Structure 1
Amino acid sequence: MSDIVYVKGPGDADISSVAYDSRMVSEGCLFVAIKGFNVDGHDFVPQAISRGAAAIIGEQDLDLPGIIYIRVRNSRKALAEASAWFYGYPSRKLGIIGVTGTNGKTTTTYLVKAMLDRAGYKTGVIGTIGNLIGDKILHAERTTPESLELNRLFLNMVQQGVNYVAMEVSSHSLKLHRVDGIDFQVGIFTNLTQDHLDFHKTFEDYYESKKKLFDLSRKAVVNVDDESGRKILQSIDIPAISYGIDTDADLRARNVNISLEGVFYDIEVKGEKFSISYHVPGRFSVYNSLAALGAGLALGIPMDTLIDALGKVRGVPGRFEPVIVGQDFAVIVDYAHTPDGLENVLKTIKSFARGRIITVFGCGGDRDRKKRPIMGSIASRLSDYCIITSDNPRSEEPEAIIDEIEKGVVSSNYEKIADRREAIAKAIEMAKKDDVILIAGKGHEDYQILKDRTIHFDDREVAAELLVKKGKLR
């Protein structure tokens, strides 16, 4: 184990499990004490010992008679190493494709999965919507699991015959060492725009965290239309495939045609020209599909297989997902929860909307507050009407979040309705033929996190139910 300061206590112990939560400790456990943001695991070392821990890892100077104590410089790094060791280094038995960036991670992983499936491999996905083993869905607590759960999941995938895993790699997971020790076959960079500054504090720290993926990757696929992508490409020393629309790149989309039916463009690979179709509209769909094509080429999958797989994909849950129950206007649910994401979706809708654009959106509580007025400005500029509502307020008051969003609004084309269901109902009530309602921020989520509880709430279900209830059908 790296960064060991010293080891005290008996020389050997039979380790039966690994835990970083003292409540999960059982006889023979290796307990890793981590100083968290709210609690310090070192305070729970006595509890871990009373429950039968055989060894302790921590960062503090502790005297634990009769117990093996390993003092390290960084407990989170030690947890990643101990987890990989305990589960037999399962990531080494998988081909892992990591996707990092502010937007597009989820969609890109699903496109990579579709291509690998088409090539005949058994695949897994780890990310925001959930974890997949083949077509079996497992619940996900966070975008990238803690290193202990991640290695346990990798072992499960190995045991079930998975060949490749496409996983979202969040900036949190990179900064907090959750993915340390993983050998990524391919690392993909999508883009970098404002988000998570509540955690990172500065954009530079956000960028540096994302860049760490490429220290762990054998090959890179990088969006060079993005300024941070160009910086990454200049700083890495591994084989790389660049992609873009506006910048010269290894995979450059040309003759781009974006319509309500999807995106269509040409690319050139090794002197041969190919026509690409992906049936999800939007400029962001061009980028997502280019990223996935780059990963497929980096893995050596034939181009015709990649194109065939891409042409059969009909979207990802909660990403530009239409709600259709027979109404004469469009309702689209999208996960857009960053300024860039919201702007991209609204510009896509603007390119085909024949009627008004009505946007329902909010911002999450206990998250980056700086983006709230920016999103208010974007929504009010690119929509004909906005309804500012609650997202996942968490410990904050919904009305206070809404007031911060309102500070960025640049016109009078909006109203505030804190209750999200009522906000969606108002949008549906005012919609006319050919209008487009965008319900943004929560996408695939089927819950809403309030101050004192979490309730079931799915934008897609609520919209469909209200459309039928209000008789908004042809």
Structure 2
Amino acid sequence: MKAMNVLENLSEILSVKGPKDINIASITYDSRKVEKGSLFVAIRGFKLDGHDFIEDAIKNGAVGVIGEKEMNLPDGVLYVRVKNSRKALSQASSIFFGKPAEKLKIVGVTGTNGKTTTTYLIKAILDEAGLPSGVIGTVGLCIKDKVLPSERTTPESLDLNRIFVEMLDEGVEYVSMEVSSHSLKLHRVDDIRFEVGVFTNLTQDHLDFHESFDDYYSSKKKLFYLSKRAAINIDDPNGRRMCGELDIPTLTYAIEGKADLKAEDVRIDSNGVTFKLNFYGKQKNIVYKVPGKFSVYNSLAAISACLFLGIDLDTMAKALEKVRGVPGRFEPVDEGQDFTVIVDYAHTPDGLENVLMTIKSFVKGKIITVFGAGGDRDRSKRPLMGRVVSEYSDYFIITSDNPRSEDPEAIINDIEKGLDKNSKYEKIVDRRAAIKRAIEMASRGDVVLIAGKGHENYQIIKDEVIPFDDREVAREFLKEKGRMR
């Protein structure tokens, strides 16, 4: 593609130096991935600045560069100075790949909790309706039945466009994707026009990245400037606020409040949830075999989005009844033991409370919780997480999550600040040893909750990424305990 074709569609260009008639063979924002004919986009990161790697990019074969700083590059190399490199990357990659998002029907799901499950429920409904679909999110990428790993909840704009092209090549027509507040604030999804934007809820998280809760809310709200229609949880106060600020067609859903889609006669037990869906007088019994009030909300979110896609309620009910859960979301680990082990991704105060309240509703014995908090992330939520776990657990073990560059013991000390004075707990820094301890002490009727990492198959300690899967570690110790009986 000619560079001039890219430039014609870039907004906020400040200046252009060098030849515009060069051919662009690829685009990258990583100087290590530059090849002959690449257009390198220099992005100011949180740790590194891409502008410092422009010389390396040119040595590796870059024929053009987009950046924000005043630069003098060698003769024959195109330099485009823009106001915002991240915006430019989104626009350039969309143009370079032929605007693939415009050829797909994309549902974006945002919120603090419930994003992953909702996207998978939407895919289950699309599959039941015979509509070829894909998922982009925390657990990974699903392209029809093919599952691929994913590095972040919402990939960078360049990677997103590449994924969209791959999906189109595989015959995908619909995509349900998680849209994180980071991706919205950092312009990763600027050039996507979502068929439906879904808002699940908003509670404290990511205040290490967002300067305030209001900034967090405002970032989430950006999804709906990019969406044709909206599905909003109005039991959440921020959802009600959002509804009052949008001017696009909206379906509201709720359990408690008055909404377009209302869950009535809700019943929750250890086998899952059942409820009667009331949609403008139309009623449908819904069964979803994952317990918890959050399961009702996730079902309502998926149904609301799929109504906008023209799918009938009968198809949706059939699809939801077939779903057996999502990896790492209230996922049981069963090796024939006489107590329950559940692995869940809950890593916020609200997420932990939702999961623990659900367990409380059916547990026959004790609740034993293993949890920690991520390093280099929002420190203010740590004591709040501790308070919730101490309130709902009979016994708990505070351990490492992904400590990253922080001292694991310092993170544990932050969590301890929120504990009830009568809490029964211990601290075991080694996560493997903590899981072993919880399983060893569990007896008939107890529930062991291993929270925080869910589907993740790694642990980040300092600069190392170590293989670690809560489910596999729990399975190992359950088998060991079974042999010792």
Letter in 1 for 2:26: S
Partner of 1:31: 40
Partner of 2:213: 203
Map residues 9-88 of structure 1 onto 2, 5 A cutoff. Answer: 9-64=18-73, 65-88=75-98
SS, match of residue 470 in structure 1: helix
Letter in 1 for 2:66: I
Aligned counterpart in structure 1 of residue 459 of structure 2, from 434, 448, 453? 448
Offset at 1:58?
0.7
Aligned counterpart in structure 1 of residue 182 of structure 2, from 161, 172, 195? 172
Offset at 1:453?
1.5
Partner of 2:110: 100
Q: Percent identity?
A: 65
- Relative to structure 1, the CA distance from residue 473 to residue 233 in structure 2 (aligned partners, 3 Å threshold; closer, same or farther) is farther
Question: Deviations for 1:344-366, whole angstroms, at most 9, x for unmatched residues?
Answer: 00000001111110000000111
Aligned counterpart in structure 2 of residue 2 of structure 1, from 11, 25, 50? 11
**What TM-score results when the alignment is normalised by the length of structure 1?**
0.98
SS, match of residue 361 in structure 2: helix
Aligned counterpart in structure 1 of residue 385 of structure 2, from 354, 372, 375? 375
Contact kept, 8 Å, 1:360 with 1:439, in 2: the verdict is yes
Contact kept, 8 Å, 2:135 with 2:141, in 1: the verdict is yes
Offset at 1:412?
3.0
Aligned counterpart in structure 2 of residue 218 of structure 1, from 209, 213, 228? 228
Offset at 1:472?
7.2
Question: Deviations for 1:20-42, whole angstroms, at most 9, x for unmatched residues?
Answer: 11111111111111111111111
SS, match of residue 256 in structure 1: strand
For the aligned residue pairs, the C-alpha RMSD in angstroms reads: 1.1
Contact kept, 8 Å, 2:140 with 2:149, in 1: the verdict is yes
Partner of 1:185: 195
Contact kept, 8 Å, 2:105 with 2:194, in 1: the verdict is yes
Aligned counterpart in structure 1 of residue 287 of structure 2, from 268, 277, 280? 277
Partner of 2:252: 242
1:339 aligns with 2:352: no
Partner of 1:118: 128
Partner of 2:315: 305
Partner of 1:392: 402
Aligned counterpart in structure 2 of residue 152 of structure 1, from 146, 157, 162? 162
Letter in 1 for 2:479: V
SS, match of residue 290 in structure 1: helix
Offset at 1:269?
2.0
Question: Deviations for 1:202-226, whole angstroms, at most 9, x for unmatched residues?
Answer: 1011000000000110110000011
Deviates more, 1:83-92 or 1:46-55: 46-55
Partner of 1:428: 439
Offset at 1:297?
0.4
| C-alpha distance in 2 between matches for 1:377 and 1:276 | 34
Contact kept, 8 Å, 1:327 with 1:472, in 2: the verdict is no
SS, match of residue 370 in structure 1: helix
| C-alpha distance in 2 between matches for 1:460 and 1:20 | 35
1:439 aligns with 2:455: no
Offset at 1:326?
0.8
Contact kept, 8 Å, 1:373 with 1:405, in 2: the verdict is yes
Letter in 1 for 2:214: E
Letter in 2 for 1:462: V
Aligned counterpart in structure 2 of residue 412 of structure 1, from 414, 417, 423? 423
Offset at 1:227?
1.0
Offset at 1:11?
2.9
Contact kept, 8 Å, 1:326 with 1:473, in 2: the verdict is no
**What TM-score results when the alignment is normalised by the length of structure 2?**
0.96
| C-alpha distance in 2 between matches for 1:136 and 1:221 | 28
Letter in 1 for 2:213: F
Letter in 2 for 1:234: G
Contact kept, 8 Å, 1:327 with 1:473, in 2: the verdict is no
Offset at 1:66?
2.5
Partner of 2:469: 458
Contact kept, 8 Å, 1:174 with 1:212, in 2: the verdict is yes
| C-alpha distance in 2 between matches for 1:445 and 1:39 | 26
Letter in 1 for 2:289: H
Letter in 2 for 1:83: S
Contact kept, 8 Å, 1:364 with 1:394, in 2: the verdict is yes
Question: Deviations for 1:48-67, whole angstroms, at most 9, x for unmatched residues?
Answer: 12222121111111122332
Question: Deviations for 1:377-424, whole angstroms, at most 9, x for unmatched residues?
Answer: 100110000100111111111111111111111023111011111111
Offset at 1:45?
1.3
Letter in 2 for 1:185: E
| C-alpha distance in 2 between matches for 1:359 and 1:421 | 14
Aligned counterpart in structure 2 of residue 363 of structure 1, from 366, 370, 373? 373
Offset at 1:473?
8.5
Contact kept, 8 Å, 2:90 with 2:188, in 1: the verdict is yes
SS, match of residue 228 in structure 1: helix
How many residues are treated as equivalent by the alignment?
474
